[in-house]
Chains A and B, each alone.
Chain A
């Protein structure tokens, strides 16, 4: 199946700093990628939809100036958590949409665990 990677897998940062997380589709082109966050023992919550070459679409309640998304190419989307605070500590997961004919599937990255001190 298709492979999606994320980097870094784990990051610890000080409060007030910015953190960039990369999401790459390794063997397919993804015009659309999605960013989720997941708190312990909870389900994945969609944060935003990242479209190549255009602005991201954010879900209600997600601050677009706080979580900057850039989908610069068909294989790369980045999420930057600006001025991170301890409450931003979470597991961030991206997914990429693969469209093969009429079959469409989303594949998920391994996740990035962010800890803000």
Chain B
């Protein structure tokens, strides 16, 4: 059903520092996971994905870690820049089709 309208959790990070955004998921049957970035007034933008049979994947300045034991996913952003300020969503995909989004974390980069 509809989620309750809560304020998004906010992570404030100094420019140049590393950011770690966390996500807990519930379904152990998820096939893979995606991190999306959403800037204000725009649609989600794909950042990186990871399959359920992996525990780490690296991209450009980003690393996703998957811990299936505790059903936890994290996104690490190296050398955070002002342009990284956005809301970040993790999403779990089951059956290679249905996407379920987490509640989101707002990343605020302090210049």
Cβ of A49 under 8 Å from chain B? yes
Is the beta-carbon distance between B43 and A93 smaller than 8 angstroms? Answer: yes
List the B side residues contacting A111 at CB < 8 Å.
41-43
List the A side residues contacting B6 at CB < 8 Å.
41
Q: Among residues 84 to 103 in chain B, which have CB atoms less than 8 Å away from a CB atom of chain A?
A: 89, 93, 96-103
Give per-residue flags for A39-66: 1 if the beta carbon is below 8 A from chain B beta carbons, else 0.
Answer: 1111111100100000000001100000
Q: Contacts A44-B101, A46-B99; is A108 near B43 (CB within 8 Å)?
A: yes
Q: Decide if the interface of chain A is mainly helix, strand, loop or mixed.
A: strand
Is the beta-carbon distance between A106 and B34 smaller than 8 angstroms? Answer: yes
Tally chain A residues at the interface, Cβ within 8 Å.
29
How many A-B contacts if CB must be within 8 Å?
Answer: 62
B interface residue count range (under 10 / 10 to 19 / 20 to 34 / 35 or more): 20 to 34
List the A side residues contacting B102 at CB < 8 Å.
43
> Considering the chains assembled together, what is the distance between the CA atoms of A106 and B45 in angstroms?
10
> Considering the chains assembled together, what is the distance between the CA atoms of A109 and B42 in angstroms?
8
Q: Taking the nearest CB of chain B, how far is it from the CB of A100, in angstroms?
A: 13
Give per-residue flags for B10-54: 1 if the beta carbon is below 8 A from chain A beta carbons, else 0.
Answer: 000000000000000000000000101000011111100100000
Q: Taking the nearest CB of chain B, how far is it from the CB of A77, in angstroms?
A: 14
Smallest CB-CB A-B distances: 9 pairs:
A108-B43, A111-B43, A43-B101, A108-B44, A110-B43, A44-B101, A93-B43, A43-B103, A109-B43
Q: What would 16 A/B residue contacts be, using CB atoms closer than 8 Å?
A: A1-B46, A4-B43, A34-B99, A41-B6, A43-B101, A44-B44, A49-B98, A61-B1, A61-B2, A104-B96, A105-B34, A105-B46, A105-B49, A108-B45, A110-B42, A111-B43
B contact residues vs A (CB 8 Å cutoff): 1-3, 5-8, 34, 36, 41-46, 49, 89, 93, 96-104
